[in-house]
Structure 1
Amino acid sequence: MSQKANKLVNGRHIGIIGAGLVGAGWAIVFARAGLEVKIFDAAPNAAVSSLSLIRSQLEDLHAFELIDNIDGVMARMTAVETLQEAVTDAAYLQESILEKVEVKRRLMEELEELTSENTVIGSSTSGIPASAFTQGLKLAGRTLIAHPVNPPYLVPVVEIVPSPATLSEAVAFTDALMQSVGQSVVHVRRETQGFVLNRLQAVLLREAWALVEEGVATCEDIDKTIRDGLGLRWSFMGPFETIDLNAPQGVADYARRFGRLFQEIAHSRTHEQPWPDELIAEVEAQRRTILGQDQLNERRAWRDRQLMTLAAMRNKKEK
């Protein structure tokens, strides 16, 4: 994996802009694959502080035999003090800053002045199209969305979403780079709010909240339905493959059998209003009886260890 990645970047480094959870996760993805990584954050000491978080994450990965050499991966990461240090002579930049159009636009205007024409820029944004913060800039042709799932070093899917101005060469380079560092690439063919992942997640969440609001089921019973039901299959196959296998003659047979039912379910919802405060309070109350506010970080660490277990099992299967 590292040889292919290094050949693509041709001796240049990867720049990480924004050293929060997502940026730190991306740094692991690239450094684990053998690439040199420079990390920058506009907040004082944030980039340096991120290295401590990264080391603790690498220690967990090592415990699950997902990396061999903690110090070797750490040695490929450097916290830098200026944006210019992070981007000068970078083959690729991964931006993971605040989810606000105006903030990203200001950064892109800076990058317009600091980056060369052969540096590709990917944004980690969860739903803002690249055209919203690159329109009219020269770098629009080499900028796109590369949206991960957190943490990206454990959940490999990444959505590549070009703007109408993005050049095909930038898409091809990002595709090849992401695959070379072990990510699973999804191509979103045109800009749409929320891309693919969050549009799918939004539909499921909207129905989950509605079922609680109507008293049909509790939060825990809905979580069980996914965790102990749909999620077991979804951990290794998607919705189309699932239904293709769930009717004797495949997906068309399934559509004929159940299409009307799903249409009626869809028509029973309008979802015209945001989640009301009363419903949010009810869901919060239910969740806090199961998991206290002071236990959230501990549970997040548990989640990541579960993902590491799955990743380790997948690695053994592939070998």
Structure 2
Amino acid sequence: MSTKIGIVGAGLIGRAWAIVFARAGMAVSLYDVDAGALDKAREAIRQSLVDLKQADLIEDMEATLALIQTESDLAQAMAGAVYVQECGPENTEAKRRIYSALEGVVAEDSVLASSTSGIAASRFTDHLRHPERCLVAHPVNPPYLIPLVEVAPTPFTSEAAVSRTVHTMHQAQQVPILVRKEIQGFILNRLQGALLNEALRLFRDGYVSAEDLDKTVRHGLGLRWSFMGPFETIDLNAPSGVVDYGQRYGPLYRDVDRQRGDDDPWDEATLTALDRERRERLPSSDLAERQAWRDRRLMALMAHQRTFFSS
């Protein structure tokens, strides 16, 4: 019998998770209180599967689609689910309500994982009877194209729940990493936030245009980072490895770090100026088309990487 996965929320992330699990041969029950949202989700999932088929990233889209069932009754949707992926609002109180409802309808040994982008799971699971089976499994959007999943347990999460989550992610052909201690934003968004904060300051203070900043990542850092991380990068960028690199360039990075203020780079004036430059290059009316272009490029990159990486 196929492993049954329950998904709470039929929005963008919930639909993407449904594809991830069904593509791996798992039965998926996609729940949303809004029946209309479920109808839209099914059509959106079908279109994504068509795109994956055209990119040779899926063999049988109809078989995958057949594994995804939709349900507007929570108890029926979660019946028999051994693993639940919650994709509700990015709001602590809303998640507390969702988890209270889930605890009333799932088996005691079902793992409850949240897709939250930055809220520590202990903040919305500490009131439950069984918080030991709760944790975060944070994907990168869209998870059916970008396989990284941050597995972030709470201080109360059992080792069994962590192991089952990691195993489920491997089964689903994702790449899980373990966040060893709870921290706001987890790993990926803290790294992304550091780059975005510095990028906004450099733009705001007149050092670089928005387009040239993007070129710096697109044609510079991004090329290396698409197949190796920052630690491997510096290990290979000095004759004798990491310590040698630190001795050569550590003083530079320390000085740069001291120059950063603690001011907020996300102020309205900076974002307005950035939006003005971005809209000159990409009108708002073209955003959806460009998003589809992004996904097709990700599909091509994913197909290319499958030739070289086994995980």
The one of 145, 149, 155 equivalent to 2:140 is 149
Aligned to 1:111: 102
Q: How does 1:4-15 map onto structure 2 within 5 Å?
A: 11-15=2-6
- 8 Å Cα contact 2:148/2:177 also seen in 1: yes
Query: SS where residue 177 of structure 1 aligns?
Result: helix
The amino acid across from 1:128 in the alignment is I
* 1:300 has 2:291 as partner: yes
The amino acid across from 2:222 in the alignment is G
* 1:231 has 2:218 as partner: no
Query: SS where residue 6 of structure 2 aligns?
Result: strand
The amino acid across from 2:29 in the alignment is K
Deviations 1:249-273 (A, max 9, x none): 1111001100111011011012332
Aligned to 2:175: 184
* Larger mean Cα displacement after TM superposition, 132-141 or 146-155: 132-141
Structure 2: distance between partners of 1:31 and 1:71:
11
The amino acid across from 1:251 in the alignment is V
Deviation at residue 315 of structure 1 after TM alignment = 2.1
- 8 Å Cα contact 1:206/1:271 also seen in 2: no
Structure 1: distance between partners of 2:260 and 2:290:
33
The one of 278, 284, 288 equivalent to 2:275 is 284
The amino acid across from 1:122 in the alignment is A
* Larger mean Cα displacement after TM superposition, 76-85 or 222-231: 76-85
* 1:25 has 2:16 as partner: yes
The one of 86, 91, 115 equivalent to 1:95 is 86
- CA 1:232–1:112 in 2, change beyond 3 Å: closer, same or farther? same
Structure 2: distance between partners of 1:260 and 1:157:
32
* Larger mean Cα displacement after TM superposition, 112-121 or 232-241: 112-121
Query: SS where residue 160 of structure 1 aligns?
Result: strand
Aligned to 1:67: 58
Gaps of 5+ in 1: 1-9
Deviation at residue 112 of structure 1 after TM alignment = 1.6
Deviation at residue 274 of structure 1 after TM alignment = 5.0
Structure 1: distance between partners of 2:265 and 2:184:
16
Aligned to 1:54: 45
Deviations 1:100-146 (A, max 9, x none): 00000001111121111111011000000000000131231101000
Query: SS where residue 217 of structure 1 aligns?
Result: coil
- 8 Å Cα contact 2:110/2:133 also seen in 1: yes
Query: SS where residue 304 of structure 1 aligns?
Result: helix
Structure 1: distance between partners of 2:180 and 2:252:
30
Deviation at residue 318 of structure 1 after TM alignment = 4.8
Query: SS where residue 109 of structure 2 aligns?
Result: coil
The amino acid across from 2:268 in the alignment is D
Structure 2: distance between partners of 1:175 and 1:282:
42
Structure 2: distance between partners of 1:313 and 1:195:
28
The amino acid across from 1:83 in the alignment is L
Structure 2: distance between partners of 1:42 and 1:258:
54
The one of 137, 148, 160 equivalent to 1:169 is 160
The TM-score normalised by the length of structure 2 is 0.97
Deviation at residue 317 of structure 1 after TM alignment = 3.4
Q: How does 1:240-259 map onto structure 2 within 5 Å?
A: 240-259=231-250
The one of 209, 223, 229 equivalent to 1:218 is 209
Q: Percent identity?
A: 46
- 8 Å Cα contact 1:16/1:23 also seen in 2: yes
